[in-house]
Amino acid sequence: MLKLPRTIRLDPSDTFVFERAAEPGEWAVSGAFVFWDSDPATLGQKQRVALRSGFLGIESLGWSTLAVVIEASEAERQDVIDRLAEQLMAKFGAPNIEAARSAAEEEVAFAASLCDHEPQTLLAVARSVENGEIRERFRTLKPRATEPGGDRLHSHARAFTFHEVEGDEPAEEVDLLGLTKTDGT
């Protein structure tokens, strides 16, 4: 069964912590490639948040703190690759469609590799720059088992009380008040 990540928004925080928030339900990729040639010291605060903890929505090129594992068809996977290749050409300067498509295929394959979990599992990313290289760590938030006959699909409504965390949870300090400022940083 093929699975890919989609952006999800459990609360409105993405709309003020990122310069551009992904729309809920967009197909997503890691998005680390956006920062491959960036010096983190020169990034604005909202860009640093995206570097540290964002999934890239391929339609809007906006960021999402979480992604959700969703079953996908082969046709949907091909559409995701095609759309990402178009974005790589239009917004990231890919030299030609063949190079863009190859890069898109790699990104989508990596995104699919993150989805080796049950559908509706939430994914979170924590990135850091170490020795000039971007390091990514991924965590999953899985719905706890429900009572017999319970509705597991809708258990994400209480994501922060009814999930188990797998993987390391990095210590992180974020200035939420600073993120609400609109001074261009």
pLDDT in tens, 127-147: 999 988 999 999 998 766 655
**What does the pLDDT look like over 5-57, one tens digit per residue?**
999 999 999 999 999 999 999 999 999 999 988 888 899 999 999 999 999 99
Residue 167, pLDDT above cutoff 70: no
Alpha carbon distance 24, 70 (integer Å): 13
Describe the crossing of helices 97-113 and 74-92 by its angle, rounded to 10 degrees: 130
Does the residue 169 lie in any domain?
no
Q: Which domain holds residue 45?
A: 3-164
Of the candidates 37, 27, 156, 159, which has an alpha carbon nearest to the alpha carbon of residue 92?
A: 37
Give the pLDDT of residue 111: 98
Does the residue 183 lie in any domain?
no
Give the pLDDT of residue 162: 39
By the 8 A CB rule, do 7 and 64 touch?
Answer: yes
Alpha carbon distance 64, 168 (integer Å): 20
| Residue 96: DSSP 8-state | S
The single-letter code of the amino acid at 20 is: R
Does the residue 181 lie in any domain?
no
| List of E strands, the chain | 3-8, 28-29, 55-57, 63-64, 66-71, 122-130, 133-143, 163-166
**What does the pLDDT look like over 67-94, one tens digit per residue?**
999 999 999 999 999 999 999 999 999 9
Name residue 182's beta-bridge partners.
Answer: none
By the 8 A CB rule, do 130 and 103 touch?
Answer: no
Does the residue 141 lie in any domain?
yes
Give the pLDDT of residue 180: 53
**What does the pLDDT look like over 104-126, one tens digit per residue?**
999 999 999 999 999 999 999 99
Does the residue 31 lie in any domain?
yes
* Mean pLDDT value across residues 157-171: 47
Does the residue 148 lie in any domain?
yes
Does the residue 124 lie in any domain?
yes
By the 8 A CB rule, do 6 and 67 touch?
Answer: yes
Q: What is the pTM of this model?
A: 0.79
Split into its structural domains, the chain has a count of: 1
Report CA 74 to chain centroid distance, whole Å: 21
Does the residue 172 lie in any domain?
no
